[in-house]
Amino acid sequence: MDNETQFIGQSAAFQDAVERASMAASLDRPVLVIGERGTGKELIAERLHRLSTRWDRPYVIMNCAAMPETLIESELFGHEAGAFTGATRTRAGRFEEADGGTLFLDELATMSMGAQERLLRAVEYGEVTRVGSSRPIRVDVRIVAATNEHLPALVDEHRFRADLLDRLSFEVITLPPLRAREGDIEVLAEYFGQRMAALLDWEQWPGFGPRALAAMEGHGWPGNVRELRNVIERAIYRWADPARPVDALHFDPFASPWQPAPRKAQIRHETAAATFSGAAPAAAAPPGQVSDLRAAVDAYEKQILSDTMARCRFNQKVAAEALGLSYDQIRHALKKHGLNQ
């Protein structure tokens, strides 16, 4: 395997998953790979093929989520010329392309019920029929499928065929999320850091500072290894002094006081502006005309919060700094005046 498909990690949870994939590779049976986004499902699928007896035969990948429902059956099973509008010539499907090898079906849970039924027949009988044809074609294909969904729950919801799940689940390899891989975050960070430093022609790799290491361990990594790689490479790219350990991470590349406000926040602001444009708030009245001090102070505070949040593009952290408040204080104030909806 090349550098892009190496397995980096020393945690027991991760090593167990890799070992199970290695054991299942030699058996000519379907395998399901389950895991959150960014956990390495594609790498496990490739490992299953490379360590199998089919290693020198085709390895065909199909992302089911990337195919419109109207085309997915044509992509899988092929079509005859004239089978539908735009089918100007006969085309072999992914099953025929993978004959003798492995077909990796990514995002399996997004497949329509109709496509699932035809897939079941292909797996069960080793035959596919092109769209627009009545002649079945024999194929010898090993299926490896991946998803981030809990397929038994989809079966209960009648969104996935129980008989297809039974047929595909000879072995199920569930990959642990990065947050459960004890000790692997720093190992992976070092690996990605060294590669990025070499790419930028740094004379040496200075490593990470204590703040960066603490931030890594404290982060939840919802995007798992893929997110970690992006964060590490971005941190090194933005680090100004290659001689000092990298000690600043930027988890959210979209973070900015000038980022566009979400559509819902814009609507709330427009509604609040319309409400206040009809009449001046009570606090704006001359002191001699105030009859309810508490209501006047509350109205004035609400107006200031609303205007400041709008000016800061509804970024609570930036608005808190503008008003000299802590983050917790502004959240409390926004909740008090119903501005955090």
Is 146 inside a domain boundary? Answer: yes
Beta bridge partners of 137: 128
Higher pLDDT, 263 or 191: 191
CA-CA distance, 245 to 166, in Å (whole number)?
Answer: 51
Q: What is d(CA 109, CA 106) in angstroms, rounded to the nearest whole number?
A: 9
Categorize the per-residue pLDDT at 145 as very low, low, confident or very high, splitting at 50, 70 and 90.
very high
Does 255 reside within a domain?
no
Structure confidence at residue 192 as a pLDDT band (50, 70, 90): very high
pLDDT bucket at 26, cuts 50 / 70 / 90: very high
Task: State whether 16 and 164 are in the same domain.
Answer: yes
pLDDT of 284 strictly over 90: no
pLDDT average, residue stretch 187-195:
97
pLDDT given for residue 287 in this prediction: 60
CATH label of the domain that carries residue 62 = 3.40.50.300
Residue at 249 is within a domain: no
| Same-domain status, 101 and 16 | yes
Residue 103's nearest CA partner among 81, 86, 78 is 78
Q: Assess whether pLDDT exceeds 50 at residue 281.
A: no
Q: Classify residue 280: in a domain, yes or no.
A: yes
What pairing do the DSSP bridges indicate for beta strands 171-174 and 102-106? unpaired
User: For residue 328, is it within any domain?
Assistant: yes
Tell me the residue range of the domain where 219 lies: 182-238
Instruction: Examine residue 341 and state whether it is found in any structural domain, yes or no.
Output: no
Verify that 26 and 55 share a domain, yes or no. yes
Q: Give dist(CA 5, CA 266) in Å, integer.
A: 43
Q: Which region among 243-257, 274-288, 314-328 has the lowest average model confidence (pLDDT)?
A: 274-288
* Burial group, residue 49, by CB count within 10 angstroms (0-12, 13-18, 19+): buried
**Cβ atoms of residues 75 and 94 within 8 Å:** yes
Count how many domains the chain has.
3
Give the tens place of pLDDT for each residue, 200-239.
999 999 999 999 999 999 999 999 999 999 999 999 999 9
Query: Both tokens of residue 117?
Result: 């039924």
**Could you tell me if residue 253 is inside a domain?**
no
Whole-number pLDDT of residue 81: 85
Separation between Cα atoms, residue 252 and residue 202, nearest integer Å: 25
pLDDT for residue 280: 41
CA distances from 12 to 15, 16, 181, 187, 259 (A): 5, 6, 8, 14, 41
Distance CA 237, CA 198 (A): 11
228 neighbors 179 (Cβ within 8 angstroms)? no
Computed over every residue of the chain, the mean pLDDT equals 87
What is the mean predicted confidence (pLDDT) over 22-42? Answer: 95
Residues 152 and 132 in one domain: yes
Interacting residues of 93 by C-beta distance below 8 A, sequence separation 6+:
74, 75, 76, 77, 78, 79, 128, 130
Q: For position 283, what pLDDT does the model report?
A: 43
To the question of pTM greater than 0.75 for the whole model, the response is no
160 and 291: one domain?
A: no
8 and 187 in contact (C-beta within 8 Å)?
A: yes
